Amino acid sequence: MKISITRKQYITLASVLFMIAVWKLVSMHFRSDFILPPPEKALLTTFNLFIDKGFLAITGSTILRGTTGFMLSMILGIGAGIIAGVNRDFDAFIRPVIVTLRSVPVISFILLALIWLSPDTVPVFVAMLTMFPFICTNVTDGIKSVDHDLVEMAVFYRVKKSKIVREVYIPAIMPFIISGASSAMGIGWRAIIIGEVLSQPKYGIGTVMQNAQTFLNVDAVIAWTIIAVIVSYLFEKVIRWSERKLITWRS
Amino acid sequence: MSLEIKNLYKSFGQLTLFSDFSTELHENTITCILGPSGCGKTTLLNIIGGVIKPDAGELTGFSEKKISYIFQDPRLLPWKTAAENIGFVLDDSMATEERNKYIDTFINLVELNGFADYYPHALSGGMRQRVSIARAFAFRSDIIVMDEPFKGLDVKLKTNLIRTISSVWIRDKRTVVFVTHDVDEALLLGNDIVVLSQPPATILCKVKIDIQVSERNSVNTELESFKQQLLSALGNK
């Protein structure tokens, strides 16, 4: 296979190099690891974290929280989204709930959850509340967008209702579920980490970031940030991959 | 036994489409209902299909009949291949192998050999309509209803599709009710042609054509005289 680099990829690379150069220049100006360590030091710290024995427990806990919150919001979001898509009354009922969830600052959920829940569940709860609206509204939009002519065709041919749901509705809303999942994930990871910073569970990326900040280990804060970005990126890849697997019919 | 529509009444608000309308449809015949747009042709099909209830009137011979549809647009599921789209309307009781063979027969009948596994987006408009024709014939129906299936297609494509439909139709001579506003389409495919007026619908003229579809062309003089008859009934020159 021939690997060719497009013009766009060159520009992307240039952009990344530019950001690192700015980082390097700023760090050279301050000349203090307590303010901003140089990029090579932060990258070395990141690399060392990967081989640190606590790495798996810390990152694993955060991932577990993320996926749990994500699953819960998927179940609730798809369920509520389908009902809202087929029932106008429920749609009107759930809409204010979603608008409220969307406009409440994430930090308010966290502060309240800290009072109500254990440190381990706070981030999950917060992630679930922030992800739910995205999935729910996308599923509702998906159901509303189902081509009425196709449903009519199926009804005219006397196709069974359960088959119409399985083979007309579900494939039609699948792209909406995936794009909802993708935006939910993007927001969800951030919510999880903020939740961990404040609730301080035993293991978690947010927990170690907060500790590093307390001791002015700026390189560790940056290193964990890089890891958080990688985790988020990998999950985005998983979603894109499942999109290709599930939606094979699009060119 | 023939299918009958007796004393049909149907209105939508102020608009009366049918008022004491009666007609007869012969079985194993392609009946073409020709009329200006807005004359209630689609409504008549929907009443035949049992999708719309008439305000009053009697339909005899239609109950328990299974109906296939060919719509103006192909209405294929974009996430299913040509073969899967045909399979979608079929009874699930057939064994997989037999079923695939059965579907293949119809794919070949509409001359889509080799395209069974193509998704609709990869097929041309005419090919998609062929899939929908195959679906209608593959479905074990008693009546096939076609609602302007050639609208918006160019003359060459239209003629090709009409030839295809006719060659598939010959196999079991199913009862077809075909609705159009286009005189040439009616002349090419119809055995019985019924011309409807502006609403409320009355029958302006009835024509019976016994010429083989393959021999119907613009130089056929007999067809030309039928054409004049239909045009004058529709009030055109």
DSSP labels for A160-223? -HHHHIIIIIHHHHHHHHHHHHHHHHHHHHHHHHHHHHHH--SS-HHHHHHHHHHTT-HHHHHH
pLDDT for B236 beyond 70: no
Nearest in space to B234 (alpha carbons), one of B179, B180, B177, B183 = B183
User: What's the whole-number mean pLDDT along residues A198-222?
Assistant: 93
CA distance B182 to chain A (A): 23
Residue type, A190: R
Q: Which two tokens stand for residue B78?
A: 């974009």
Q: Which domain, by its residues, includes A230? A: 37-246
Tokens of A40: 């090579």
CA A108-A111-A113 angle, to 5 degrees, is 105
Is the pLDDT score of A2 beyond 60?
no
Which of A153, A171, A250 faces B71 most closely, judged by CB atoms? A153
Per-residue tokens: A48: 């060392």
Q: Flag whether A20 is in a domain.
A: no
Q: Report the SS3 class of residue A51.
A: coil
Chain B residue numbers with beta carbons less than 8 Å from the beta carbon of A247 are 79
- Report if residue A30 sits inside a domain: no
Please say whether the beta carbons of B146 and B179 come within 8 A.
yes
Q: Is A125 helix (H, G, I), strand (E, B) or coil?
A: helix
pLDDT tens per residue across span A99-150 = 999 999 999 999 999 999 999 999 999 999 999 999 999 999 999 999 999 9
In a domain, A125, yes or no: yes
Residue A4 confidence class, pLDDT cut points 50, 70, 90: confident
Which of B66, B77, B80 has the most A C-beta neighbours within 10 Å, making it the best mutation to test the interface with A?
B77
Round the average pLDDT of chain B to a whole number and report it. 87
The CATH number of residue A60's host domain is: 1.10.3720.10
Among A145, A157, A173, pick the best mutation site for testing chain B contact (most B Cβ within 10 A): A157
What whole-number distance in Å separates Cα of residue B221 and Cα of residue B210? Answer: 14
DSSP per position, chain B: --EEEEEEEEEETTEEEEEEEEEEE-TTSEEEEE--TTSSHHHHHHHHTTSS--SEEEEES-TT--EEEE-SS----TTS-HHHHHHHTS-TTS-HHHHHHHHHHHHHHTT-TT-TT--GGGS-HHHHHHHHHHHHHHS--SEEEEESTTTT--HHHHHHHHHHHHHHHHHH--EEEEEES-HHHHHHH-SEEEEE-SSSP-EEEEEE--S-GGG--TT-HHHHHHHHHHHHHHT--
Whether A43 and chain B come into contact, CB under 8 Å, resolves to no
Count of other CB atoms within 10 angstroms of residue B176: 23
Contacts of A132 (CB under 8 A, 6+ apart): A73, A76, A77, A80, A98, A101, A184
Tokens 């139709």: give the residue.
B169
**Which A positions 143-162 lie with beta carbon below 8 A of chain B?**
149-150, 152-154, 156-159
When divided into structural domains, chain A yields a total of 1
Q: Is A104 helix (H, G, I), strand (E, B) or coil?
A: coil
Could you tell me which residue, A24 or A86, shows the higher pLDDT?
A24
Count Cβ atoms within 10 A of the Cβ of residue B237 and give its class: 0-12 exposed, 13-18 middle, 19 or more buried: exposed
Domain spanning B23-51+61-234: CATH 3.30.70.20: no
Residues of B in contact with A150 (CB under 8 A): 75, 77
> Does A251 sit within 8 Å of B88, measured CB to CB?
no
pLDDT at B216: 78
**pLDDT greater at residue B47 or residue B224:** B47
Tokens (6 digits) for A199: 């609730």
Question: Residue A202: is its pLDDT beyond 70?
Answer: yes
What pLDDT, in 10s, does the model give residues B62-120? 877 889 999 989 999 999 999 999 999 998 888 889 999 999 999 998 889 999 999 99
Lowest mean pLDDT among B39-48, B97-106, B121-130: B39-48
How far is residue A72 from each of residues A117, A135, A177, A184, measured CA to CA in Å?
Answer: 17, 11, 14, 12
Cβ contact A156–B119 (<8 Å): no
Q: Which amino acid, one-letter code, is at B73?
A: D
DSSP assignment of B36-89 equals: -TTSSHHHHHHHHTTSS--SEEEEES-TT--EEEE-SS----TTS-HHHHHHHT
Q: Is residue A157 part of a domain?
A: yes
Which of B69, B77, B92 is opposite residue A168, by nearest beta carbon?
Answer: B77
Cβ of A251 within 8 Å of Cβ of B89? The answer is no
Instruction: Evaluate whether residue A119 is within a structural domain.
Output: yes
| Average pLDDT estimate for A150-159 | 92
- In the prediction, which pLDDT does A102 show? 92
Cβ-Cβ contacts under 8 Å for B99 (sequence gap 6 or more): B87, B90
Q: Looking at chain A, which residue has its C-alpha nearest residue B139?
A: A157
Give the confidence band of B237 by pLDDT, cuts at 50, 70, 90.
Answer: very low
User: How many percent of chain B have pLDDT more than 70?
Assistant: 98
The residue among B88, B90, B132 with the most chain A CBs within 10 A of its CB, best to mutate, is: B88
Whether A1 shows a pLDDT value over 60: the answer reads no
B73 neighbourhood in chain A, CB within 8 Å? 149
pLDDT at B1: 59
Query: Which chain A residues touch B138 with a CB distance below 8 Å?
Result: none
Q: Hunting for tokens 């999880």 — which residue is that?
A: A192
- What's residue B157's pLDDT? 85
- Predicted structure pTM score: 0.79
Q: In this complex, do B77 and A250 lie within 8 Å of one another by their Cβ atoms?
A: no
Is the pLDDT reported for residue B179 higher than 50? yes
- Residue B79 at interface with chain A, using a CB cutoff of 8 Å: yes
Between chains, do A168 and B67 touch, taking CB under 8 Å as contact? no
pLDDT of residue A233: 92
pLDDT digits (tens, 9 = 90+) for B181-206: 888 888 888 888 998 888 888 888 88
Q: What is the pLDDT of residue A251?
A: 57
Cis peptide before B200 (omega within 30 of 0): yes
What value does the mean pLDDT take over residues A210-225?
A: 92
DSSP assignment letter at A146: S
Instruction: Compute the average pLDDT of residues A219-223.
Output: 92
Residue of B75, B84, B141, B147 to mutate for A, most A C-beta atoms under 10 A:
B75
Burial class (CB in 10 A: 0-12, 13-18, 19+), B167: middle
Q: What is the pLDDT of residue B17?
A: 87
Nearest C-alpha of chain B: how many angstroms from A168? 7
Q: How many CB pairs under 8 A join A and B?
A: 43
Q: What's CA B188's distance to the chain center, in Å?
A: 13
Say yes or no: A215 contacts chain B, CB-CB below 8 A: no
Nearest neighbour of A156 by CB, restricted to B51, B73, B121? B51
Residue at A49 is within a domain: yes
- B52 in contact with A at a CB cutoff of 8 Å? no
Q: How far is B17 from chain A (nearest CA, A)?
A: 22
**B145 CA: distance to closest CA in chain A (Å):** 11
Tokens 């700015």 locate to A22
- How far apart, in Å, are the Cα atoms of B6 and each of B27, B39, B191? 16, 18, 21
